[in-house]
Amino acid sequence: MRTSLLLLPAVVCWLSLPCLARAEAAPETKKELVLDLGGGVKMELILIPAGKFAMGSNGGNAYEKPAHQVTLTKAFYLGKYEVTQAQYRALMGANPSEFKGGTNPVDSVSWDDAQEFCKKATANLSRDRKGAETKPLADARGSEYVVRLPTEAEWEYACRAGSANKFCFGDSDASLGEYAWYRANSDDKSHPVGQKKPNAWGLYDMHGNIWEWCQDLYSGDYYRESPAVDPKGPASGQERVQRGGSWFHDPGVCRTGERLRKERRHAAVLPGPTHAPFPRLKNGAPAPIFWG
């Protein structure tokens, strides 16, 4: 799971779909943020700039078509790594993961669990280290931060990091092992975050290791009608989107354009030798969007 961090102008801070701060309009905006989750546990986030990209793949599955131009008008922060088990425990007080390890990505997390994590992460921004209420965390212009899962468009844009290829680094399956834990090199388990190469924007494990939840509802036909600007997914549906593939999968499932759907209460992806870990709070659980 990977999370995103959003900037909320104070005048709309209670809207369910807040707008993101524009990096180009805020030269004082930091390129990276570090969140203090308490107990010495921190979360690193990277600023993702506003921009345009081609979403989807005409050479992929039917639900990845058509490739279409998308514009994201607001910058946002995304977790540098997938949400770790130590980070999840710091806010939730429990660790549901099957593959235990403090620096491993949290697994076996449902979409609903990810929402609760993000809710607590947002509340944590307004508390000092002793738990007392303080002024909400804000940027230099007074825009407040909110933590949520990335939209599917935000996730793919951040994963691509300027690339139009199958993977963030190119099209070669043979090079995937340099960037991802997947079926050929994972030894049938997840691994500590950040051990492979990052993409061009400094995000780790965007391919493989753990599936990552997105905020959106899922529709296999959505790309045929998706808005060209700041798409947020279909208005109705029964399932939520996951992205990135996992340690269990072959390269084709770890591609940037691949999409998975799961019921929101589902907390395991595959009935493998063990249950495959679910999402990335990351920015995974989702690493919060701020956290991704």
pLDDT in the model for residue 26: 38
Lowest mean pLDDT among 55-59, 159-163, 222-226, 277-281: 277-281
Name which of 144, 94, 148, 139 is nearest 120 in CA terms: 148
The verdict on residue 289 lying in a domain is no
Could you tell me the CATH number of the domain that includes residue 148?
Answer: 3.90.1580.10
Range of the structural domain that residue 103 is part of: 4-263
The verdict on residue 269 lying in a domain is no
The verdict on residue 279 lying in a domain is no
Distances (CA, A) of 44 to 110, 160, 290: 22, 20, 10
Residue 204 has pLDDT above 90, yes or no: yes
pLDDT in the model for residue 30: 84
* Location of structure tokens 């707008």: 19
Where residue 268 falls among pLDDT bands split at 50, 70, 90? low
pLDDT in the model for residue 292: 32
Residue 188 has pLDDT above 80, yes or no: yes
* Location of structure tokens 């929101």: 264
Angle among Cα 49, 176, 150 to the nearest 5 degrees reads: 35
The verdict on residue 274 lying in a domain is no
The verdict on residue 281 lying in a domain is no
Where residue 145 falls among pLDDT bands split at 50, 70, 90? confident
Where residue 119 falls among pLDDT bands split at 50, 70, 90? very high
pLDDT in the model for residue 140: 46
**Token pair of 81, please?**
């790594």
**Sign of torsion over alpha carbons 260, 262, 267, 268:** negative
Residue 13 has pLDDT above 50, yes or no: no
The verdict on residue 157 lying in a domain is yes
Contact call for residues 68 and 226 (beta carbons, < 8 A): yes
pLDDT in the model for residue 265: 80
Separation CA 252–CA 244 (nearest Å) = 10
pLDDT mean over 94-113: 94
pLDDT in the model for residue 75: 92
User: Which percentage of the chain shows pLDDT scores above 70?
Assistant: 76
Of residues 217 and 291, more confidence is placed in 217
The alpha carbon of residue 171 and the mean position of all alpha carbons in its chain are separated, in whole angstroms, by 22
Residue 141 has pLDDT above 50, yes or no: no
Lowest mean pLDDT among 41-45, 103-107, 133-137, 150-154: 133-137
pLDDT in the model for residue 80: 95
Q: Into how many domains does the chain fold?
A: 1
pLDDT in the model for residue 253: 96
pLDDT in the model for residue 137: 55
Contact call for residues 168 and 179 (beta carbons, < 8 A): yes
Separation CA 13–CA 18 (nearest Å) = 7
Residue 289 has pLDDT above 50, yes or no: no
pLDDT in the model for residue 143: 57
Where residue 125 falls among pLDDT bands split at 50, 70, 90? confident
Residue 237 has pLDDT above 60, yes or no: yes
The verdict on residue 283 lying in a domain is no
pLDDT mean over 36-56: 94
Q: What is the pTM of this model?
A: 0.84
Contact call for residues 146 and 8 (beta carbons, < 8 A): yes
The verdict on residue 278 lying in a domain is no
pLDDT in the model for residue 15: 21
Residue 278 has pLDDT above 50, yes or no: no
